[in-house]
Amino acid sequence: MAKNELSRSKLGIVSWVVYDMGNTLFSAGIVGLIFPLWLTRDMAGNDGTFGFSLSISMVIVFILSPVAGTISDVTRRKMPFLLFTTLVAIFATALIGVFSYEASIVLFCAAVILIHLANIFYNALLADISTESNVGYIGGLGVGIGYIGAIFAVVCGLLFYDSEGPVFLFKLMALLMFILVLPLFLSGNYFIGNTKITEFRSVLLTALKQAFLSLWQARKKKPWAMFLFACFWYFSSIYAGSVFAVLYGVETVDLSEREVQLILAVGIIFGIPSGAFWGYLVDRYGSFFNLKINVMAWFLILGLAALLPVFDLPGELWWAVGVMSGVFMAGLYVSERPFVLSMSASDTVSEYFAVYNMVGRLAAITGPFTWGYISSTLGLGQVASMTWLSICALIGFLILVCAKLE
């Protein structure tokens, strides 16, 4: 049996990078753009509806992430699980808006859950196609090129949102996602060989035991524990800020849907070369150093976004917010993956990524929930929510500053 499920070749690397384009298309196009607009404009939803739907999805992902990662490590397989979760997510995306309002929300939640579970297996494949000397470069290449998927999403929105409507765009983006993830599935190795496949119940029990053990043991590895604690705070702010950016721009800043999409496109364009740039910096100066820079930058970005409408600052500054968001979102993703790999052993990569994803999903529960609660339930508005996100990013940065690598 081949040792790796994805070959350490140009074909393997290219197919891994192209998959990230489909992943980014879903995040930027479905979660960040079309679904919130469809929910609030066409279906009379609000911040709370969107935020609570995301929070419920992330509760489920939070529970399933460590189980999925440990099952992958126990069976020593990633590609079959990646194939299943991605294809079902694409199918669910294509059906949003076809059925009732309630059914469409359920389909959206299912797609979000499955895409996040797929990322556990996808991120773990980075160990197959990279070495210690180029992991930052390849990870950065994936993030940078992955931004092209977001450009596809924005272009589709600009061309078809007004003329064809959001339901058409759900189907179109699902088709584009399928095309972009297909090369990885065709180039992957699915041959099990002599790998021992145990009874599913036994694997599941082992996974649950190992998942909670991994979380418990994280406290013994101080740099890892500090990173997870910081990740909860800064990812909570960045995730909520990114998924509510469109609604914030349209409802609080009073931008048009077209203006918001153009600002998003500019940020993405700057993010593409930034991935390779941050990858170079990670290989040269280390992932932890770059992680701290990017989290600090996000504190400033979110703070600026909160201050602009309060002081009625020039609208041109919104373009600066878009550019910085693209650059430092790329830097964050490029820094995190190599750091998780550096903390894990070769036989626990999926497990570490699962715990990392578990903490990230916990943050993704609290971020959108807190936004919806502050803005809609308490009635304090979106500026108060954005201010809270900036404070969360600052807390995450201070925790990282206090952490010391061994």
Q: Pull the structure tokens for residue 242.
A: 């990114």
Q: What is the per-residue pLDDT for 80?
A: 80
Please, what's the b/e burial string for 120-137 (b: 16 or more CB within 10 A of its CB; e: otherwise)? bbbbbbbbbbbeeebbbb
Asked, for residue 262, whether it belongs to a domain, the answer is yes
Residue 277 makes CB contacts below 8 A (sequence gap 6+) with 140
What are the C-alpha distances in Å from 344 to residues 3, 301, 331, 353? 18, 31, 21, 9
Domain that holds residue 377: 10-189+199-402
Asked whether residue 404 carries a pLDDT value surpassing 50, the answer given is yes
**217-247 per-position pLDDT tens digit:** 666 667 778 888 898 999 899 888 888 888 8
Asked, for residue 34, whether it belongs to a domain, the answer is yes
DSSP string, 291-321: HHHHHHHHHHHHHHHHHHHHTT--TTHHHHH
What are the C-alpha distances in Å from 322 to residues 54, 218, 301, 304? 23, 36, 9, 11
Asked whether residue 198 carries a pLDDT value surpassing 60, the answer given is no
Asked, for residue 300, whether it belongs to a domain, the answer is yes
**262-311 per-position pLDDT tens digit:** 888 888 888 777 877 888 888 888 888 888 999 999 999 999 999 988 88
Asked whether residue 94 carries a pLDDT value surpassing 90, the answer given is yes
DSSP string, 34-66: IHHHIIIIIS---HHHHHHHHHHHHHHHHHHHH
* One-letter identity of residue 296: M
Asked whether residue 88 carries a pLDDT value surpassing 50, the answer given is yes
Q: Pick 54 or 107 by higher pLDDT.
A: 107
Asked, for residue 244, whether it belongs to a domain, the answer is yes
Three-state secondary-structure class, residue 365: helix
* Total residue length of the chain: 406
Residue pair 138/12 in contact (Cβ under 8 Å)? The answer is no
Q: What is the per-residue pLDDT for 178?
A: 94
Q: Pick 46 or 335 by higher pLDDT.
A: 335
Q: What is the per-residue pLDDT for 2?
A: 44
Asked whether residue 260 carries a pLDDT value surpassing 90, the answer given is no
Asked, for residue 5, whether it belongs to a domain, the answer is no
Asked, for residue 62, whether it belongs to a domain, the answer is yes
pLDDT tier, 196 (very low <50, low <70, confident <90, very high otherwise): low
- Burial label for 106, CB within 10 Å (0-12, 13-18, 19+), is middle
Asked, for residue 276, whether it belongs to a domain, the answer is yes
Asked whether residue 99 carries a pLDDT value surpassing 70, the answer given is yes
Q: What is the per-residue pLDDT for 136?
A: 66
Q: Pick 399 or 2 by higher pLDDT.
A: 399
Asked whether residue 20 carries a pLDDT value surpassing 50, the answer given is yes
Q: Pick 395 or 128 by higher pLDDT.
A: 395
CATH of the domain at 344: 1.20.1250.20
Q: What is the per-residue pLDDT for 177?
A: 92
Residue pair 249/263 in contact (Cβ under 8 Å)? The answer is yes
Q: What is the per-residue pLDDT for 201?
A: 61
Q: What is the per-residue pLDDT for 388?
A: 94
Number of domains in the chain: 1
Asked whether residue 194 carries a pLDDT value surpassing 90, the answer given is no
Q: What is the per-residue pLDDT for 234?
A: 92
Q: What is the per-residue pLDDT for 191?
A: 60
Asked whether residue 190 carries a pLDDT value surpassing 70, the answer given is no
In this structure, how many other beta carbons lie within 10 angstroms of the beta carbon of residue 44? Answer: 9
Q: Which of 104-118, 162-176, 267-281, 340-354 has the lowest mean pLDDT?
A: 340-354
Averaged confidence pLDDT in the chain: 81
Asked, for residue 1, whether it belongs to a domain, the answer is no
**338-384 per-position pLDDT tens digit:** 888 777 666 666 667 777 877 877 888 888 889 888 988 888 888 99
Asked whether residue 172 carries a pLDDT value surpassing 90, the answer given is yes
Q: What is the per-residue pLDDT for 203?
A: 61
Residue 114 makes CB contacts below 8 A (sequence gap 6+) with 85, 86, 88, 89, 92
Whole-number Å distance between alpha carbons of 299 and 294 = 9
Choose among 285, 377, 367, 371: nearest CA to 331. Answer: 285
